[in-house]
Structures are given as C-alpha cells and as structure tokens.
C-alpha cells in the first residue's frame, strides 16, 4: 500500500528523455506537469538523466549507475523512449538501448506494467476496427514485467538458440494481486491470459490464479488462452475490463490493444512495483521523426495524468485528462490524428495549447 502523501506535495521527478522523439515529447510532458503543479501549489523538481542510445554514446552503458541513483532518489520517473537504428541494424551489437529499459525495470523492481486502453469518441473513426466495435472500449492490460523469456536463461549457437520462460509462484502471485486490486476499482471483471494447454509456465499461472481467485469472490474471473484473447480483443474489445498476463504475451497484446484507439500516440502506461514507479508512453522512439516536430505528445502527457493519480492526486490527473480531451475536441492535433483539412499542429504547438488551457482552467 502506498503511503499517505501530503497535499500540497514536494515532488522529485527523474526525467529520462531517451532517444529519437523522446526529448521532444518529454519537454511537453514536463511543461504540462509544471503547469498543473503551479495551479495546485505543489513544488516539483525535475532531474534529467541519460538512458538508451544517448547513454551508450556518452558513457557506454544504456542505464548508467548515475541514472539509477537519480531514479532511486526520485518520487517517480517520467520516461519517454529508447531506440536507435544504428543498433537495430547491427545484429552483432553487444550493448543495445533497449537493455537500458530492461535494466531500469529490473533494478527498480518494477514488476507490474499497467496499460489502459481507452477510446476517444472523436477519434474512433481512426481505428482500423469498425466504430460499433471500438466505441466505448475501456480496459486495462496488466503485464508482468520482470520474468519470463525476456529475463530467462538464453543460449545462442551457430545453428540453434533458446530462451527460457521461467516463473516462480511468488512472481505470479504478486502480479495477480495487483490485477485483482485494479479489477475491484473498476467493473470487477478479470481475465487471466495464458497458454496452459501447451506451456508448463502457463499451467503454473493458471493454478496460482485459481487459488488466488478465492480471495476475491467479488471479482468475476475468466481464463483465456492467449490466441483466443488476441482474437477477442479485435472481435469484442468491450468484453474486457482488466486482463493480466505474463511478460511476452503482455508485450504483444498491449501493442495490439493500442491499435483499437487508432494511434499508439494516445496511450500512456505505468510500471510499478518495489521501487520508484515509471510513467511512459507505450510507443517507441520513432527515430525517423526525430526533430520534425510531428510526434504526438499526448501519450507522454497522459502519462503525467497517471503519475498524479498514482499519488492519489485525482483532481490533478483529471485536469490533465480534461485538457487532452479539450485539445482533441478543438482539433489541436498532430498530423496522424488530425481531421482532413484541419489546421496542422506540431508537437510543441499541441503541448503549448494544453499548457495554456490548464493555466486558464
């Protein structure tokens, strides 16, 4: 349980802008957070730190010890994105930007990734799915973040390779409790996603989930194979309220879920656990757009809303969400979601409009 926080608060935020479009959207997230804190009387201190390709270029480490220290000493991390083509296109590279993201999660003990999937009425036409399917879709994907194949034993030979998908009862129990707590605060419906008909690790997941379900009799629990869940998300996204799954499945399903809204640039996420929580957009670094002032900052800005809500600052979070909705309704949007014939706005212009709306609200 999180400690009760004073209001107004003194917030210390580590800012990890990262690579590609990261610095551009990070600037807008910081500006929005600053505007909200000023309005509510909170003191906020931002400390920048290196990560990803920028950190590799500077010190040879995608998550340097100095960055880890800054994150440990902060109340929260506002993270943007990592990744660079010079590493993507080099299969021999021993150090990669994404290793910094994995290291951050592991060192901070962030085992629960929270990804809400929510549609915006004015943007349902942008979804690749029919409007009647996606309208009103509102669910949360909870992905286990520090176990499974991403962290299991690996071996590569000239003609073979393997990844180990290992989980312990403790790892499964703690993420399930997080999922049930979210379900209790929402519509009391949890879907446990696994592949128990094939994978031993999934059979452990299902066994533990069936045991823990007895502790939450007020929550309806479903069990669904991952292939079925992937189809159901497309066929009937409104079926889901909260879904929980292991690391690899969660990575794939949450990216699929982002398509329901019509743009990955609209969805924030939170990674929580034992240490400093991290709040970030779900999209990548989009290096092709770097410096072009076209990246959508809304996912980063909505990550700020999640940050406030994590500290039980509901009014502050609502103000951010209201400002984002107002910008969408006013057609103040970056190119990928702008209405046909609408005025063109860049990353900076959308961020400035939202900051101004907050200041005048």
CB 304 within 8 A of CB 32: yes
Write down the catalytic residue from 150, 182, 310, 345.
150
CB neighbour class for 335 (10 Å; exposed up to 12, middle 13-18, buried from 19): middle
CB 50 within 8 A of CB 65: no
Write down the catalytic residue from 61, 195, 241, 310.
195
Write down the catalytic residue from 61, 75, 251, 310.
251
Residues in CB range of 1: below 8 A, 6 or more apart:
none
For residue 227, indicate whether it is catalytic: yes
Which residue, among 31, 41, 122, has the nearest Cα to 320 in the 3D structure? 31
What's the rounded Cα separation, in Å, for the pair 290 and 295? 8
For residue 251, indicate whether it is catalytic: yes
Kindly report the number of other CB atoms within 10 A of residue 141's CB atom: 31
Write down the catalytic residue from 88, 163, 255, 322.
255
Write down the catalytic residue from 57, 227, 312, 329.
227
Buried b (16+ CB within 10 A) or exposed e, 270-281: bbbbebbbbbbb
Give Cα separations from 228 to 193, 194, 233 (angstroms): 9, 10, 9
According to DSSP, the residues that pair with 191 across neighbouring strands are: 222, 243
Residues carrying an active site annotation: 150, 195, 227, 251, 255
């Amino acid at each position: 349980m999180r400690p009760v926080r004073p209001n107004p608060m003194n917030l210390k935020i580590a800012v990890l802008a990262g690579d590609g479009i990261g610095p551009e959207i990070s600037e807008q997230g910081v500006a929005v957070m600053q505007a909200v804190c000023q309005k509510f009387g909170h003191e906020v201190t931002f400390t920048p730190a290196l990560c990803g390709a920028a950190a590799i270029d500077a010190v040879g480490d995608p998550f340097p010890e100095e960055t880890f220290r800054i994150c440990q000493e902060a109340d929260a991390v506002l993270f943007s994105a990592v990744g660079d083509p010079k590493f993507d296109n080099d299969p021999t590279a021993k150090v990669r930007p994404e290793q910094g993201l994995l290291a951050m999660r592991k060192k901070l003990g962030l085992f629960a990734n929270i990804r809400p999937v929510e549609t915006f009425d004015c943007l349902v036409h942008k979804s690749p799915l029919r409007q009647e399917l996606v309208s009103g879709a509102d669910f949360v994907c909870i992905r286990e973040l520090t176990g499974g194949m991403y962290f299991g034993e690996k071996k590569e030979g000239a003609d073979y390779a393997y990844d180990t998908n290992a989980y312990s009862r403790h790892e499964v129990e703690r993420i399930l409790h997080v999922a049930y707590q979210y379900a209790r605060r929402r519509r009391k419906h949890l879907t446990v996603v696994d592949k128990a008909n094939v994978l031993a690790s999934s059979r452990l997941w299902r066994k533990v989930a069936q045991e823990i379900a007895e502790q939450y009799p007020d929550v309806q629990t479903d069990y669904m194979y991952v292939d079925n869940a992937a189809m159901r998300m497309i066929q009937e996204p409104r079926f889901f309220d909260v879904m929980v799954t292991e690391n690899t499945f969660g990575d794939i399903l949450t990216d699929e879920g982002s398509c329901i809204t019509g743009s990955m640039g609209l969805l924030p996420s939170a990674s929580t656990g034992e240490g400093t929580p991290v709040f970030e957009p779900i999209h990548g670094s989009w290096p092709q757009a770097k410096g072009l002032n076209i990246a959508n900052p809304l996912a980063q800005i909505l990550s700020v809303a999640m940050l406030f809500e994590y500290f039980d600052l509901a009014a502050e979070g609502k103000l951010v969400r209201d400002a984002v909705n107002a910008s969408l309704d006013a057609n103040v949007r970056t190119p990928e979601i702008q209405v046909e014939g609408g005025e063109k706005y860049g990353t900076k212009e959308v961020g400035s409009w939202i900051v101004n709306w907050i200041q005048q609200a």
